[in-house]
């Protein structure tokens, strides 16, 4: 019973996993808020840099997680320090002001004059896009955060043209006038920078420049990439998340600063939102910030706010008569404006274009903000479907420009209890096919059927599966397992033909596969499908097979381990048997032969003295004598290498090279002494 319950549970999990892996997009939820606390963890109350601090604080602020009090002390100290130093870089100044905008470390009339002067100088001297970006965005933040500050760009149009000169014909931008490479990521930075120039300009920028920039934005969207599930994104070396987020931030800033608005393709804006929602929960802090910040820009902008249709569950149980529930919200989970949702079609995966449900408008529950379909038509059966939804906005009641997909396709799995009927198992004679023994089965519980057969007979198993509305059901998995008493297992597929699922085993053709093993075989049936709520694993009983004797050349069954964990037990100790040492002569005999070997050498020395060998030139001074002895000893060591015959070539060459260097040194000293002594004798 436990095995059967486990199988049912696994198949239900499989159904959820199949639907969950499809293109069903959910807005930002509490799971993101919980993950943010793990991703953005400060060290000793602060972050490594002001940039990291800003990204963490901005993400937590968007997700409405209040952590300012835990970070304000150490972080504000760093902010005040950077804003007080005239030597601070433009980048540090920008992120210090960005953090200050969240934590309010400095406000009111306390304007950081040195930083303002540095930012203004940075705008005048800037040649690179990043210098323009840091300077202009920094001045915009000063204007927003410090009341009574009058900051404007007197030559704003000239600055605008200088930045615009970095644009390319395809909508991308360059970081430097000297670098021909263009970048989509740089385009997002340029849009933010130009938006800042417009907001700081004392008068309106030339409309033709604005229109040229809008044309560039349109061309940039021509290079956008797309997935099969309708998600759109920009990709470059910085990665798709960072690149796409940069563009969205730039578009939001530019749309906010420009009065005529942006006309962007709604399908692609929704696709961008789906891209970031499809990312899930990034484990990297940088990607997490870019995801949440980009979605916040899509949540609140002046061009179009995408709405996302989501389902609390994409699995519908017909047994429990669960209604279809749908939610429509913004990307951050805020309530949608007044609208209506219609189920345009419900396409079955097994049908060819025919729809089970057509143009069914869903009811709205204001308390749960959920649209629902109370009941399904009578012909709605278990299986996999593609539901096509249409969202109709009440545009006259909306202040913002909301946008939705024309049609949203969602995969749905309808599950139910499958009826199992006419289950029986029988042993047949091979020649005439007559039934020798037959048993009715109740597959919803374990049976204790006992059968017997020989190699000239057949085993037939059959049953019928029907859906809740009486249609034939073809399960994804249906197989029979025979398990011999020696633990050898054989699995056979049960096929569905017509209204019946049937398996016939002809034992005469299976004797080799069964390894000619006679004896008792346990019979087990497994039926499962993602749409089947009552998937089963049923023990039917056993069959006693009488098979021919095992031929001499036939294959043997594989060895079956009695315990699957036996491979991990300690191995048997290996006993090594060494060769018995050979018998050696007595020690005294070895010493006698050693003496006989040394005698010729002694005779050689005596012979040298008898012959009157001249050794008068041997050095007498300590240093020269030492060198001479070492020289002769080195020659002896070289000769010794011949004795050490068991050494390999590389070891011998290594030793010979060392001895050669040694001999060169001591030999040179010895010969130098002899030459000097010879010169003294000649001069005397």
Average pLDDT of the residues of the chain = 86
Query: 357 or 11: which carries more pLDDT confidence?
Result: 357
pLDDT reported for residue 19 = 39
Question: Which residues face 420 on adjacent strands?
Answer: 465
Q: Which long-range contacts (CB under 8 A, 24 or more apart) does 293-297 make?
A: 293/55, 293/58, 293/59, 293/62, 293/245, 293/249, 294/244, 294/245, 294/248, 294/249, 295/28, 295/62, 295/331, 295/332, 296/62, 296/332, 297/248, 297/249, 297/251, 297/252
Could you tell me the two tokens for 390?
């249409």
Segment holding 305, helix H or strand E: strand 305-310
CA distance 24 to 531: 19
The model's pLDDT over 425-451, given as tens digits with 9 standing for 90+, comes to 999 987 666 888 889 999 888 888 999
What is the DSSP-derived secondary structure letter of residue 427? E
440 Cβ partners below 8 Å, 6+ apart?
423, 424
The proportion of the chain whose per-residue pLDDT surpasses 70, expressed as a percent, equals 91
Terminal Cα distance for the chain, rounded: 119
State pTM to two decimals: 0.71
pLDDT in tens, 265-275: 889 999 999 99
Average pLDDT for 21-49: 83
pLDDT band at 140 (very low <50, low <70, confident <90, very high): very high
Q: How many CB atoms lie within 10 A of CB 323?
A: 14
What sign has the CA pseudo-torsion 523, 528, 532, 537?
positive
Lowest mean pLDDT among 249-263, 419-433, 562-576: 562-576
pLDDT on residue 395: 66
Distance CA 482, CA 520 (A): 9
Beta strands 419-429 and 500-506 are: unpaired
Q: What is the pLDDT of residues 560-570, one digit of tens each?
A: 666 667 777 78
228-243 pLDDT, tens digit per residue, is 888 999 998 889 999 9
Higher-pLDDT residue of 12 and 292 is: 292
In this prediction, residue 398 carries a pLDDT of 60
In contact, 36 and 287? CB cutoff 8 Å: no
Instruction: Give Cα 420 distance to the centre of its chain.
Output: 42
């Amino acid at each position: 019973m436990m095995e059967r319950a486990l199988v049912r549970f696994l198949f239900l999990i499989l159904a959820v996993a199949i639907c969950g892996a499809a293109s069903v997009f959910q807005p930002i939820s509490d799971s993101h808020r919980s993950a943010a606390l793990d991703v953005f963890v400060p060290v000793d109350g602060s972050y490594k840099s002001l940039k990291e601090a800003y990204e963490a604080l901005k993400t937590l602020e968007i997700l409405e997680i209040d952590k300012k009090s835990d970070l304000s002390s150490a972080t504000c100290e760093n902010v005040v320090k950077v804003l007080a130093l005239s030597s601070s870089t433009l980048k540090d100044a920008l992120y210090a002001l960005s953090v200050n905008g969240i934590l309010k470390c400095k406000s009111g009339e306390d304007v950081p004059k040195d930083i303002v002067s540095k930012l203004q100088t940075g705008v005048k001297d800037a040649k690179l896009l990043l210098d323009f970006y840091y300077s202009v965005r920094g001045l915009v933040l000063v204007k927003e955060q410090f009341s009574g500050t009058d900051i404007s760009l007197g030559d704003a149009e000239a600055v605008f043209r200088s930045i615009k000169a970095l644009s390319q014909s395809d909508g991308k931008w360059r970081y430097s006038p000297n670098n021909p490479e263009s970048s989509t990521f740089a385009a997002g930075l340029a849009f933010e920078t130009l938006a800042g120039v417009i907001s700081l300009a004392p008068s309106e920028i030339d409309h033709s420049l604005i229109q040229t920039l809008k044309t560039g934005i349109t061309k940039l969207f021509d290079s956008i990439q797309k997935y099969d599930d309708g998600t759109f994104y920009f990709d470059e070396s910085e990665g798709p998340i960072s690149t796409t987020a940069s563009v969205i931030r730039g578009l939001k800033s530019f749309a906010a600063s420009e009065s005529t608005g942006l006309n962007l393709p709604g399908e692609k804006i929704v696709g961008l939102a789906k891209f970031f929602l499809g990312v899930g929960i990034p484990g990297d802090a940088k990607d997490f910030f870019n995801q949440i910040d980009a979605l916040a820009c899509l949540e609140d902008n002046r061009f179009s706010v995408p709405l996302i249709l989501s389902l609390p569950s994409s699995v519908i149980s017909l047994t429990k008569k669960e209604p279809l529930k749908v939610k429509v919200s913004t990307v951050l989970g805020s309530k949608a404006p007044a609208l209506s949702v219609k189920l345009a079609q419900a396409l079955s995966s097994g049908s060819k274009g025919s729809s089970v449900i057509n143009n069914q408008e869903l009811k709205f529950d204001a308390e749960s903000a959920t649209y629902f379909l109370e009941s399904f038509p009578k012909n709605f059966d278990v299986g996999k479907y593609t539901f096509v939804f249409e969202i109709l906005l009440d545009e006259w009641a909306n202040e913002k420009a909301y946008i939705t997909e024309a049609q949203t396709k969602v995969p749905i799995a309808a599950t139910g209890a499958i009826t199992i009927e006419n289950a029986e198992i029988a042993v047949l004679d091979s020649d005439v096919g007559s039934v020798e023994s037959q048993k009715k089965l109740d597959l919803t519980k374990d049976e204790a059927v006992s059968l017997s057969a020989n190699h000239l007979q057949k085993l037939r198993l059959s049953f019928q599966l029907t859906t809740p509305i009486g249609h034939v059901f073809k399960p994804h998995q249906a197989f029979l397992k025979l398990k011999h008493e020696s633990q050898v297992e054989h699995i056979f597929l049960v096929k569905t033909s017509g209204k019946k699922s049937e398996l016939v085993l002809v034992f005469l053709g299976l004797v080799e596969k069964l390894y000619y093993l006679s004896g008792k075989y346990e019979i087990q049936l497994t039926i499962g499908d993602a749409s089947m709520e009552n998937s089963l694993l049923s023990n039917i009983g056993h069959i006693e097979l009488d098979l021919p004797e095992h031929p001499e050349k036939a294959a043997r069954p594989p060895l079956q381990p009695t315990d699957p964990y036996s491979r991990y037990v300690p191995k048997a100790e290996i006993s090594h048997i060494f060769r018995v040492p050979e018998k050696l002569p007595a020690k005294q005999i070895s010493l006698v032969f050693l003496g006989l070997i040394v005698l010729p050498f002694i005779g050689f020395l005596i012979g040298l003295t008898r012959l009157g060998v001249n050794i008068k030139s041997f050095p007498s001074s300590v240093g020269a004598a030492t060198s001479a002895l070492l020289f002769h000893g080195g020659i002896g060591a070289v000769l010794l290498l011949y004795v050490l015959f068991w050494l390999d070539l590389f070891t011998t060459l290594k030793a010979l090279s060392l001895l050669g260097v040694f001999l060169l040194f001591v030999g040179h000293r010895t010969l130098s002494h002899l030459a000097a002594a010879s010169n003294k004798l000649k001069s005397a």
